[in-house]
Structure 1
């Protein structure tokens, strides 16, 4: 079975590390982008199964990123989880309008993140496989997209 590709689009390195620590127990192929524009270009390149994006990012915000993905034939069915620092009903409605599968508020707690991914992808994608998962955030830092160049470990 093909590994599930997840793109994490978040401006804050500590938050990316926090999300990585939650996801590292599973056999996901994880790629990172620092802003929405990088996220869109990266998504076009890697064709992720799931995008986990912060709402308030530069370039394109998370809602605009989702909207642009919906316009791309190869990305229109990509699953989306949006993250925000606070509860905001307007942003929740915007998230629904772009068919986001979940809206999580910081701090991103293991159980809520895993539950959101499980609902989006299905339980079969959440088999724990520590032998294949990256050992640490640092081990896949080279997968952070910088500019428009792509670096892979």
Structure 2
């Protein structure tokens, strides 16, 4: 059985490394991108099962990446989970995790909660 593929996108190398290690240890195939342009190219080429995307990035931010992917027939149905400091824990608790076709978790995130959200979005590993 193939591992589920997760594309993680963050401009902070430490965040990308730590998140990648946690998700790989949890049994996922991890694809990493450090900017929006790279994320779009990898999503179109690798067709991940889920994209975990930072919003605040230089150049092309996460919302722009999501907009481009939603317009592409190959990537439009891939769930996107924004992992961001722009969305507070309080907003997450009062407004939930979903906004439009995208989902949110506030930084700092609880690793167990992140895995539960991934499981909810794409099913068990």
TM class by shorter chain equals: 0.7 to 0.9
Give the deviation of 1:16 after TM superposition: 1.1
Alpha-carbon contact 1:70-1:76 (below 8 Å) kept: yes
**Aligned partners of 2:59, 2:46: CA distance in 1, in Å?**
19
Q: What secondary structure does 2:25 align onto? A: coil
Deviations 1:39-97 (A, max 9, x none): 001111111111000001123211111111111111011011001114366xx8xx723
Alignment length (residue pairs): 118
**Aligned partners of 1:75, 1:33: CA distance in 2, in Å?**
16
Matching residue of 1:68: 68
Give the deviation of 1:107 after TM superposition: 1.5
**Aligned partners of 1:108, 1:87: CA distance in 2, in Å?**
11
Matching residue of 1:132: none
**Aligned partners of 1:22, 1:44: CA distance in 2, in Å?**
24
The structure whose RCO (Cα within 8 Å, separation 6+) is larger is: 1
Alpha-carbon contact 1:7-1:43 (below 8 Å) kept: yes
**Which structure: larger Rg?**
1
Matching residue of 2:39: 39
Query: Runs of 5+ in structure 1 lacking a partner?
Result: 126-153
Matching residue of 2:99: 96
Query: Runs of 5+ in structure 2 lacking a partner?
Result: none
Alpha-carbon contact 1:11-1:34 (below 8 Å) kept: yes
- C-alpha RMSD of matched pairs (Å): 1.8
Alpha-carbon contact 2:56-2:86 (below 8 Å) kept: no
